[in-house]
Chains A and B, each alone.
Chain A
């Protein structure tokens, strides 16, 4: 690429280079079969742990099946792993000098953040598919037809993509893979502080407020509704839970509007 290529050609290179970087992530997976095994085993563990260990003690309103209640929460958990993975990969590239090599090469400037978020979308789809498989095995089902089911998954994908840009920005901000690794365990409490695993009705008021406004709750509530699974809140609830699909879309748009420009700016200017 030279400085004077046409915008169309530049866009073409951004796509080509972005795809090369998506291919890179797949190549890494191939070198680490252990990760694939872990990716397969992890959902099973979560389903067993929550579905049977906690599920035996948790009462779902109306006496519904807890595993029907649980799976949308686990889908949300998988969705919210996006920012962690992307953050770690960006920070590793930044601290090991790979980012500097990219930036010293005549490749498309924006391919790196777009490639990373694109790669995360692919791995995210794979993880979601595995989790769906685990759910079907323990008796979870969508009940409202193909289109509505597809809408639920689409909603997860949209939010996942938005969250991956949060990861790009955080990775560029910390620039250090060890700090990024240290931040990863924060993902779990963030997911737990929601309606993903238990109804929020029993929480103390201030905690319930946080949980109800947590985007994890909006996504979980939206997909429960779209799948026709139990646990859809009714009565006097906070706005995000009364309009979970709209809330999830608003979250996605807000994250994209904030973090795409922030990330691109951080990427183009880092180290300058």
Chain B
């Protein structure tokens, strides 16, 4: 995790990204329906949502690529519509919707974008070398980007957005389609940036990515926020999960019935001899459950209580449809 551990109640303190009531429609499609967002300085905020939930639309508005139909947003203290030039001087954008010239070399790209960020020729060259060195692309610096692997390309894309040392970095699905090793490398880079004080807004479909990187998570669905909190807080909202493996598969129906009564919800069978159920928040202790199963004559080979994964939280939240808070 990052060096920072900002409690979610600190949302009021010095936000670098604030969005209030953002609406955006494309024809009949309402991509955003009153999105609110706040990201504290120096933290990573993970914006989670299924495809089409409005993540990219939100990032495009915050990065001044698109204007909201209603609502307003400030990034680094400046309005994204009226003071777009000031915002652009303070942000970086990478991921799905930012890119580099495939026909230029890695170094050529960084130098060109450095010049376009209005660095002097010499400063642009020096910054290009610094970034290539720091993010491990020096060996490939003079090869055209078309010859790079997917992971290297994303890394170049990421460091291109760092040329001007942005105060706020928008990462739109920065690791979609990458292998685990390349994902790990991008994650490390993001952690380093946050240690430098950069504020990051990250969209992702990978829940483990948000779990690893984000201090706060905002879950959006159909263009609205349906939940916010730290990963731990979100996991706590749906209660712990109980996994039971039975000694005798024949006992499965009996176990299902008993656990249903205990948890007040339907367990899911896992294989021929296992089942899994979400327990009510603040409910049962493991010892009580084992005793109950014993009383019912169900012999368990293994009973484990675990925190839900963020995936389970996400599925539960997006299934529910109406806003949580």
Q: Which of A76-84, A99-107, A121-129, A211-219 contacts B (4 or more CB under 8 A)?
A: A99-107
B174 to chain A minimum Cβ distance, whole angstroms, is 13
Min CB distance A35 to B, Å, is 9
CB–CB A271/B103 < 8 A: no
B105 touches A106 (CB 8 A): no
For B79-112 the 0/1 string (1 means CB < 8 A from A) is: 0000111101101010011111111110010001
Residues in B with CB closer than 8 Å to A31 are 103-105, 108, 144
Within 8 Å by CB of A3, from B83, B105, B116, B161, lies B83
In the complex, what residue of chain B is closest to A109 when comparing beta carbons?
Answer: B85
Bound CA–CA A28/B101 (angstroms)? 9
CB distance A24 to B60 under 8 Å? no
- B319 to chain A: closest CB distance in Å? 32
Q: 4 additional contacts, CB 8 Å, given A103-B65, A271-B65? A: A16-B118, A104-B63, A105-B113, A107-B117
Closest to B95 in A: A97
Residue of B nearest to A35 (CB): B103
Report the separation of the CA atoms of residues A111 and B112 in the bound assembly, to the nearest whole angstrom: 13
Q: How far does the alpha carbon of A32 sit from the alpha carbon of B63 in the complex, in Å?
A: 33
A2 near B99 (CB under 8 angstroms)?
no
Could you name 21 residue pairs across A and B whose Cβ atoms are closer than 8 Å? Answer: A1-B118, A3-B83, A3-B86, A13-B118, A21-B116, A24-B112, A27-B104, A28-B101, A96-B102, A100-B93, A100-B99, A101-B93, A101-B99, A101-B100, A101-B113, A104-B88, A105-B116, A106-B85, A107-B118, A111-B116, A271-B60
For the side of the interface on A, what is the size category? 20 to 34
> Per-residue 0/1 for A1-34: is the Cβ within 8 Å of any B Cβ (1 yes, 0 no)?
1110000000001001100110110011001100
Q: Which of chain A's residues have a CB closer than 8 A to the CB of B241?
A: none
B268 at the interface (CB under 8 A from A): no
Interface pair B115/A97, CB less than 8 Å apart? no
Report the 6 A-B pairs with minimum CB-CB distance, sorted nearest first.
A97-B99, A3-B85, A106-B89, A106-B88, A28-B103, A104-B93
Q: Whole-angstrom distance between the alpha carbons of A88 and B187 in the complex?
A: 35
* A101 near B67: Cβ-Cβ < 8 Å: no
| Contact yes or no, B97 A32, CB < 8 A | no
**Residue in chain B with minimal CB distance to A31:** B144
CA distance A24 to B102 in the complex (A): 11
Given the interface pairs A1-B118, A28-B104, A98-B101, the reply to whether A104 lies near B112 with Cβ below 8 Å is: no
A107 touches B144 (CB 8 A): no
A98 in contact with B115 (CB, 8 Å): no
Contacts of A106 in B (CB 8 A): 85, 88-89, 117-118, 164
- B160 at the A interface (CB under 8 A): yes
Contact A104 B98 (CB under 8 A): yes
How many whole Å from B165's CB to the nearest CB in chain A? 13
Distance in angstroms from A36 CB to nearest chain B CB is 13
Q: Which of A27, A100, A271 contacts B98 (CB 8 A)?
A: A100
> Interface readout for B34-76 with A: 1 if CB under 8 Å, 0 if not?
0000000000000000000000000010011111000000000
Task: Give Cα distance in the complex from A3 to B86, angstroms.
Answer: 6
Q: With a CB–CB cut-off of 8 A, which chain A residues contact B64?
A: 103-104
Residue ID in chain B nearest A97 by CB atoms: B99
Q: How far is the CB of B190 from chain A (nearest CB, A)?
A: 18
Interface pair A20/B116, CB less than 8 Å apart:
yes
Known interface pairs A13-B118, A17-B116, A31-B144. Does A97 touch B98 (Cβ–Cβ under 8 Å)? yes
Give CA–CA (A115, B279) in the complex, Å: 62
Taking CB atoms and an 8 Å cut-off, the chain A residues in 63-101 that contact chain B are 96-98, 100-101
Residues in chain B near residue A97, CB distance under 8 A: 96-99
The smallest beta-carbon distance between B171 and chain A, in angstroms, is: 13
Residue of chain B at shortest CB distance from A20: B115
- Quick check: A100 and B97 within 8 Å, CB to CB? yes
Report whether A101 and B160 are in contact in the complex, using a CB–CB cutoff of 8 Å.
yes
Task: Give the CA-CA distance A107 to B144 in the complex, in Å.
Answer: 24
A100 smallest CB distance to B (angstroms): 5
Contact of A98 among B63, B65, B99 (CB under 8 A): B99
| Distance between Cα atoms of A43 and B201 in the complex (Å) | 52
Give chain B residues whose Cβ lies under 8 Å from the Cβ of A20. Answer: 112, 115-116
Q: How far is the CA of A100 from the CA of B59 in the complex (A)?
A: 12
B99 to chain A, nearest CB (A): 3
> For chain A residues 105-142, which have a beta carbon within 8 Å of chain B?
105-107, 111
Q: Residues of B contacting A98 with CB < 8 Å? A: 99-101
Give the Cβ gap from A56 to chain B, nearest Cβ, in Å: 40
Q: A21, A32, A100, A101: which has the most chain B beta carbons within 10 Å?
A: A101
For B144, the chain A residues whose CB sits under 8 A away are: 31
Say yes or no: B103 contacts A2, CB within 8 Å. Answer: no
Residues of A within 8 A of B105 (CB): 31
| Pair B112/A2 contact, Cβ less than 8 Å | no
Please name all residues of chain A whose beta carbon is closer than 8 Å to the beta carbon of B160 when the two chains form the complex: 101
Which residues of the partner chain B approach A111 to less than 8 Å between Cβ atoms?
Answer: 116
When C-beta atoms are compared, the residue in chain A nearest to B82 turns out to be: A3
